[in-house]
Chain A
Amino acid sequence: MRCRGLQYSLAHMTVGESLTDLAELVPDQAILLDLDTADRDALIRAMADALAEAGIVDRDYAERCIARERENPTGLVTTGGSIALPHADPRAGEQMGVAIARPTTPVEFDAMADEGTVQARIVFLLAVAGGETHLEALAEVIDIVQDPERMSGLLAAATPEEVKRLLRRDSR
């Protein structure tokens, strides 16, 4: 129950109510800076397990994301840099959340729509749930990955607090 604040805020959010920033969907323990792995599946596992730990997704979310990544890869080269957006179909009872990882060396993902491979430097693992909040948060993730300034901020961030600051809308 380390993430009580987050669960409380999600439980009290109704459709249409606006979520002010993405930072609220990212539990502290799901910000993995300088994660020392070159293995894609290990990276996904560490991220999904952090969301499971926070009570956002079920324990098997990592395996679901890995399976989905094999079938429909999520590596992207955006205007902000090389990233990946692993995620899987939501299950009833799971909540919306985002984990962020910055591996010490880029991790290879297959590119979305079979366009080769991507050496991802920042990875956003998404737990999706539907509704307006969901759309707003996803759009915010896409805004961030397309923004070179905030992406270099994420590459340089020294602490999870710094990452959260960059996720807030007013950081632009």
Chain B
Amino acid sequence: MKRVLIACGTGIATSTVVADKVRKHLKANGIEAKVDQTKVSELHRGAKGYDLVVATTNVPKSVEAPVVNGLPFLTGVGVDKVLDEIVEHLQD
């Protein structure tokens, strides 16, 4: 199963909203994935084991997984594009 990590400043507010939207979209697209949340300060050790990081903040360079900008989920601007991007990254 694919693993997605959602990161925001506190790991509890904006990432909760983004995680929910990502989960729903992946389900709707038949992609099985485990979606976790974290705060960005935890990312200095990288994101080992994750196939994708969706972040509403800047992510340290130590993160080796591909990173997608999660801001569109909060602003409503460009949501479709970012959803496509996420699906693309998680398809085999």
- Which residues of A line the B interface, CB within 8 A? 68, 71-72, 74, 76-80, 85, 87-90, 112-115, 126, 128, 130, 134-135, 138-139, 142, 145-146
Contacts and interface: CB of A to CB of B under 8 A. Distances in A.
Nearest to A147: B76
Interface of B: 8-10, 12-14, 16-17, 20, 40, 55-58, 69, 71, 73-77
A72 B17 contact: no
Contact of A138 (B17, B58, B76, B77): B17
A68 B58 contact: no
Nearest to A88: B10
A135 B17 contact: yes
The B interface, classified by DSSP as helix, strand, loop or mixed, is mixed
Contacts of B17: 135, 138-139, 142
B10 A76 contact: no
A142 B74 contact: yes
A135 B56 contact: no
30 contacts: A68-B9, A74-B14, A76-B71, A77-B75, A78-B77, A79-B75, A80-B76, A85-B74, A87-B10, A87-B13, A89-B10, A112-B14, A112-B56, A112-B57, A112-B71, A114-B58, A115-B71, A126-B13, A134-B16, A135-B16, A135-B20, A138-B16, A138-B17, A139-B17, A139-B20, A142-B17, A142-B73, A145-B74, A146-B75, A146-B76
A38 B40 CA distance: 29
